[in-house]
Amino acid sequence: MALGTGPDLALVEREMAAAPLLASTPTAVVGALAKRGGVRRYRRSTYLFHQGDESPEVFFLLSGRIELSSLSSGGHRQLHTTIETPQFFGELGVLGEMPRTGDALALEESTVWAAHGEDFLAFLGEEPTVTRAILQALARQVQSHEAFVEDLLFLDLKGRVAKRLLQLVSPSLEELPPEGAVVPAVVTHADLASLCGGSRENVTRILSEFQRRGLLERDGRRFVLRKPSGLAKLAGL
């Protein structure tokens, strides 16, 4: 499975070197990690793994779009995120030595790098700066989950939809996105409902209201934020 030389290895090295997780890692070290895995190509609507599967591998998206979601005990689908920029995913199961907590679905033809979990863990043991970056990323995930619970308690659905639209463009919300900012991923009404803890019907009504008020519009399949300040006010920011 390990990569030798060639265009695939060059692609993996280039994309990994640009990823935030490896931003401060020497090029030679990135190359060594790239060689520990191999490149796979998945057709549209193909699952990379399912919730409850064992977690033998870690992945890095090179191109395409991957949706990460899960099902609750009641059968309710929860969208976690849509990945469409080069980055690692699936590392949580490897780090925690636990089954997959959700599904990974290729929304379009996608190319990924995959490596055995033991090889990835060995790399982390050799590179403490990368380990620290992963811990920081996991801490941000925990913070995000805590903020979502707080939103459920203190924001109505309209405020949660407004906040989530802003976060899809500027995750940290340290600064509001500019007027006309386009949500980078294709997000459906059902996706937003899942992200906000509401029904698709209610979210659709709220989105229609946002469009009537000039806060939001659609450009093809993507949302465009026309008045982020107005959305921020609804979100209590």
For the residues of 64-75, what is the DSSP string, one character each?
A: S-EEEEEE-TTS
pLDDT at 95: 86
pLDDT at 106: 93
Domains delineated in the chain? 7-141 (2.60.120.10), 155-234 (1.10.10.10)
Question: Is this model's pTM higher than 0.75 or not?
Answer: no
CA distance 113 to 129: 21
pLDDT at 55: 92
pLDDT at 145: 67
* Cα separations in angstroms, 168 against 159, 172, 196, 201, 212: 14, 10, 12, 21, 21
pLDDT at 51: 92
| 2 DSSP 8-state letter | -
Average pLDDT per 10 consecutive residues for the chain, totaling 237 residues: 62 88 83 90 94 94 90 73 87 89 92 93 84 78 67 76 84 80 79 81 90 89 88 86
Give Cβ neighbours of residue 17 (< 8 Å, ≥ 6 apart).
25, 27, 30
pLDDT at 152: 56
